[in-house]
C-alpha cells in the first residue's frame, strides 16, 4: 500500500462554521490537538472515528451550483441516516439547504452545507 488517506479537505469561506455544521451532523471533535495539522482561523478539523475532515479557508470561495454542470460539484459526501426526518431538520437548523427533495422516491435527498458543497442523506422516509 503506497499511500493512506489522512484527511478529506473541503474549501470554504468559514472553516470553524463548516466544522461545526458537520460536527452537528456526524459527531466527532472539532480542532482536536493533532501534530499533523495546524488549526487556526484558516483551517479547522473534525476528528471522527478514524477519519478526519479538514476545512480550509478560501477567500474567494465559489460553491458548486448543483446540478449545473457549468459549476460542477467535483465530489460529494453520502451519509446513511437512521431517521431522515430528524436528520433533515438537523441539517436545516445548522445552516444546510435542501437542493433535491427526492420526489421520485430514489431513497436519497441532496442538500448543500453552509458553504454550498452538495451532500446526500440516504435512508427511509
Chunked mean pLDDT (size 10), the chain, 125 residues: 83 96 98 91 95 94 88 85 94 96 86 95 83
Burial (Cβ within 10 Å: 0-12, 13-18, ≥19) of residue 125: middle
Q: Where are the domains of the chain?
A: 8-57, 77-122
Which phi and psi (to 5°) does residue 51 adopt? -130, 145
Same fold, 8-57 and 77-122: yes
pTM score: 0.87
The whole-number pLDDT of residue 19 equals: 98
Q: At what angle do helices 15-26 and 84-93 cross, to 10 degrees?
A: 160
Which CATH superfamily, name and number, covers 77-122?
2,3-Dihydroxybiphenyl 1,2-Dioxygenase, domain 1 (3.10.180.10)
The whole-number pLDDT of residue 3 equals: 65
Query: What CATH number labels 8-57?
Result: 3.10.180.10
Amino acid at each position: 500500500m503506497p499511500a493512506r488517506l489522512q484527511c478529506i479537505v473541503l474549501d470554504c469561506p468559514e472553516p470553524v462554521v463548516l466544522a461545526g455544521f458537520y460536527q452537528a451532523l456526524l459527531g466527532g471533535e472539532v480542532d482536536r490537538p493533532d501534530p499533523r495539522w495546524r488549526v487556526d482561523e484558516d483551517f479547522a478539523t473534525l476528528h471522527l472515528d478514524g477519519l478526519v475532515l479538514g476545512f480550509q479557508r478560501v477567500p474567494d470561495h465559489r460553491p458548486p451550483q448543483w446540478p449545473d454542470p457549468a459549476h460542477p460539484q467535483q465530489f460529494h459526501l453520502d451519509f446513511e441516516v437512521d431517521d431522515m426526518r430528524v436528520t433533515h431538520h438537523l441539517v436545516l437548523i445548522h445552516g444546510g439547504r435542501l437542493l433535491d427533495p427526492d420526489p421520485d422516491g430514489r431513497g436519497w435527498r441532496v442538500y448543500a452545507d453552509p458553504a454550498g458543497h452538495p451532500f446526500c442523506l440516504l435512508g427511509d422516509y
